[in-house]
Amino acid sequence: MVRVALVTCADGPDVAEDRDLPVLVRALNDAGAQASAEVWDDDRVDWARFDLAVIRSTWDYSWRAEEFTAWAERCGALTRLANPADVVRWNTDKRYLADLAAAGVPVVETRYLAPGDLVELPTAGGEFVVKPASGAGARFAARYTPDEHDTAVRHVRRLHDDGFTAMVQPYMRAVDSGGERALQFFGGKPLHASRKGPVLAPGTPYDQRKTAHPGLTRWTPTADELGVAEAALAAVPGAPELLYARVDLVDGDDGRPRVMELELVEPNLFLWLHPGSLPAVVKRIIGAAES
């Protein structure tokens, strides 16, 4: 019997509920595995007793990124970790978008402002977005017009004061009509896809909690979307074996899909929306634990 840890985080006021976690634990046990949910920073957990640790909902990692990546390296030295620790370290910093762009993958145009950099933001043109390079669930993200320049500068300085690199991106206007699409892969194969509405409403303060997945519905990806998603996965450094991946896409002004985020650490699987995908996920987790 294989032993599988589904890695999560402790409950807290800023942590969303993982609706899939108890369902997945139960399904794995019903399939003959010995599965349990384990908190990543619980020092009492003996990771070496598991055949596989699958990072699932460690949704507090983004404000503890160095601590979390250090844990991933320790855990990966004791058992098989999915996804691997080197992938976790690369993917917890959204400067990976520059790596994807260098590999020819179409991504949302992004500038990075590290602490100490001169804060230069758009003063003309369309709306833009400021967010931290380590973040999840639109935490500390906001949308601005050029007329809100001074407010956006204060936002960047707050991120810098907290030790974060800031990202500046054009607001992708097509999100307001076409939404953002999330293409899920499991065991290297497409699993299912979803679409959500815009997250950043005009005038919403960066430190206000957002609904991370508004209006989530099922989606059938286009050939272009699948092509961009597969190109992004192929560009991950070292061509690692990925148990799971989620590629978040938005359309540019030309109508072609671009990568907004590549989620290789703890993407929400949305199994509650796609219950038919549960057997495939269970099968591939058990197969990874047995290999």
Condensed to tens digits (0 to 9), the pLDDT of residues 46-62 reads 999 999 999 999 999 98
Catalytic residues: 218, 246, 263
CB burial class (10 A; 0-12, 13-18, 19+) of residue 14?
A: exposed
Contacts of 68 (CB under 8 A, 6+ apart): 40, 58, 61, 88, 92
Is the CB of residue 175 less than 8 Å from the CB of residue 157? no
- Concatenating the DSSP letter of every residue in 143-158 gives EE-GGGHHHHHHHHHH
Query: In the predicted model, is pLDDT for residue 138 greater than 80?
Result: no
Query: In the predicted model, is pLDDT for residue 139 greater than 80?
Result: no
Instruction: Please state, in angstroms and as integers, the Cα–Cα distance from residue 184 to each residue in 193, 266, 277, following that order.
Output: 6, 12, 10
| 14 φ, ψ (degrees, to nearest 5) | -105, 10
**Cα(155)–Cα(134) distance, integer angstroms:** 15
Summarize pLDDT for 89-131 with one digit per residue, the tens.
Answer: 999 999 999 999 999 999 999 999 999 999 999 888 899 999 9
- Percentage of the chain beyond pLDDT 90 is 83
What residue spans of the chain are helical by DSSP H? 21-30, 65-78, 85-91, 96-102, 149-161, 175-178, 223-234, 278-290
Choose the most confident range, by mean pLDDT, from 3-17, 202-216, 267-281. 267-281
**Average pLDDT, integer, range 155-167:** 93
Angle at 170 between CA 164 and CA 171, to 5 degrees: 100
Is the peptide bond between 83 and the residue preceding it cis, with omega within 30 degrees of 0?
yes
Closest by CA position to 104, among listed 217, 15, 228, 226: 228
Tell how strand 217-218 and strand 189-196 pair up. Answer: antiparallel
